[in-house]
Amino acid sequence: MMLGEVSPEQSVPNTPAINQATCQVKFNAAKDNAGKEIGNRGVEITVGTVLLHGILTVPALATGAVILVNEGGGGRYNPRNRYIAGRLNEVGYSTLLFDLLAASEEVVVERSGGILSLVQLLALRLSEAIKWVRSDDMTNGMPIGLFGAGIGAAAMLIVASRRPDEVGAVVSLDGILDQPRSLRRVRSPTLLIVWADDPTTLKSNEAARKRIVAECELKTVKNDTVQGETHPVSEPGEPGEVSRLSCEWFRNKLALNT
């Protein structure tokens, strides 16, 4: 379920150095491809008794914030999410790569295969991440967008239906969207992206598009190649159709709807 996880020791550009043994946060700065200063830091969000982790990246003159969540709960080190976050940073959006599950919980989910039953829990934790972004000094006041994949997309749309005044736009990638009541309450402009070789998910997303009363578009994309991904995003160093569509959607919809 967890797609292409990489270890923190692997080199990924524009990410903070995190001492995972002690949860101490170290700060660093980098520049994107346009030479703009980017600030990175690891963040911790406590939900109940569970400590969840994320990576916040804030480019200079950011115009909004996008929270990216993965289908298996762990999104910080997912190559796809990191690639898309990097492209969003380049066009002026802050990003929070956020783990909806703790590492120990991911193990339980992998063994049980019961992640579908956790959608409501993931939605609750994503709501807490939104509250954190709204209160943090670096992102307070920014319009908020959500990017989610698989089960993470299902949780994301539940949150969008519950917090219409706080979620400005959403992008779902290959989402498992079987929550019809929540879909009918979504008011945020919604982009549904589905892999062209996945007819089952395409069919369910076509049904979801009909239920969503807000502005909603459905796009299909081919699977390109990026190392370590089952469902990849792009050739290394090239734009990537998913990231291009996502950047365009947030740029055109996010600021206008918050």
d(CA 251, CA 191): 12
pLDDT at 154 over 60: yes
Tokens of 49: 């008794």
| pLDDT over 60 (residue 31) | no
**H or E element that contains 157:** helix 151-162
Q: In angstroms, rounded to a whole number, what is the distance separating the alpha carbons of residues 213 and 199? A: 23
C-alpha separations of 164 from 88, 100, 217 in Å:
22, 20, 18
Calculate mean pLDDT across residues 184-204: 94
pLDDT above 80 for 22: no
Q: What is the pLDDT of residues 38-78, one digit of tens each?
A: 688 999 999 988 999 999 999 999 999 999 997 655 668 88
CA atoms within 13 A on the CB side of 172: 34
Q: Counting every residue, how long is the chain?
A: 258
Q: Measured between alpha carbons, how far is residue 92 from residues 27, 58, 136, 168, 242 in Å?
A: 20, 8, 18, 16, 17
pLDDT attached to residue 178: 79
Q: Containing H/E element for 251?
A: helix 241-253
- Spatial separation of the C-alpha atoms in residues 87 and 13, rounded to whole Å: 12
Tell me if 101 sits within 8 A of 2, measured CB to CB. no
Residue 204 has pLDDT above 50, yes or no: yes
- Please report, for residues 202, 210, 253, the alpha-carbon distance to residue 144 in angstroms, rounded to integers and kept in the order given: 26, 24, 11
Q: What is the pLDDT of residues 80-97, one digit of tens each?
A: 889 999 999 999 999 999
95 in Cβ contact with 23 (< 8 Å): no
Burial class (CB in 10 A: 0-12, 13-18, 19+), 137: exposed
- pTM value is 0.80
Query: 3-class SS at 202?
Result: helix
Q: Does domain 57-257 match CATH 3.40.50.1820?
A: yes
Domain ranges within the chain, ordered by starting residue: 57-257
- Kindly report the number of other CB atoms within 10 A of residue 180's CB atom: 10
The closest of 52, 43, 176, 188 to 125, measured between CA atoms, is 52
Model confidence pLDDT, tens digit, residues 107-132 = 665 655 555 567 888 999 999 999 99
